């Protein structure tokens, strides 16, 4: 991915490498505050992380998710990977749905039948997480 980004005008900096490494390793949606707490990014300036995220978003390598309606999350785009999420309405926690999504078949049928290209979806389930339900 670094070489692809270099062709898009990015410089290979320690901050960029650390950010991409953290986002690819965990491949979850993160708020900017959560990104700043990841290993390798704790010592980085938050403004630098924000600028890199915005640049990566502009070139389609990071997507912005408005999952909880409170705070914006960002996730690295990995071609062929798809995630659906469970969102707690009490604490705002976000976790991945732990079952395979079957909508890929529906997407392929829609693309074939109606001529759409690059079709994708985002699916979010809202409720109360087990920790919040127990308290």
What tokens were used for 84? Answer: 């659906």
- Judged against a pLDDT cut of 80, whether residue 69 lies above it is answered with no
129 neighbors 93 (Cβ within 8 angstroms): yes
The size of the chain, in residues, is 135
What's the pTM value of the predicted model, to 2 decimals? 0.74
Looking at residue 53, what is its pLDDT? 93
Domain 82-135 has CATH 3.40.470.10: no
User: Which CATH code is given to the segment(s) 1-79?
Assistant: 1.10.10.10
Cα 7 to Cα 11, 15, 55, 57: the distances in Å are 9, 18, 14, 16
73-124 per-position pLDDT tens digit? 898 887 777 778 888 888 888 888 888 888 888 989 999 999 998 887 878 8
Domain ranges (residues) in the chain? 1-79, 82-135
């Amino acid at each position: 991915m670094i070489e692809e980004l270099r062709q898009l005008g990015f410089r290979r900096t320690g901050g960029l490498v650390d950010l991409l490494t953290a986002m690819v390793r965990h491949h979850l949606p993160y708020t900017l505050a959560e990104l700043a707490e990841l290993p390798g990014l704790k010592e980085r300036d938050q403004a630098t992380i924000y600028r890199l995220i915005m640049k990566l978003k502009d070139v389609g390598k990071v997507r912005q998710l408005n999952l909880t309606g409170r705070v914006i999350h960002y996730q690295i785009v990995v071609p062929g990977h798809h995630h659906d999420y469970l969102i707690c309405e009490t604490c705002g926690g976000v976790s991945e749905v732990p079952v395979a999504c079957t909508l890929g078949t529906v997407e392929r049928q829609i693309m074939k039948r109606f001529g759409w290209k690059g079709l994708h979806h985002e699916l979010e389930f809202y409720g109360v997480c087990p920790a919040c339900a127990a308290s």
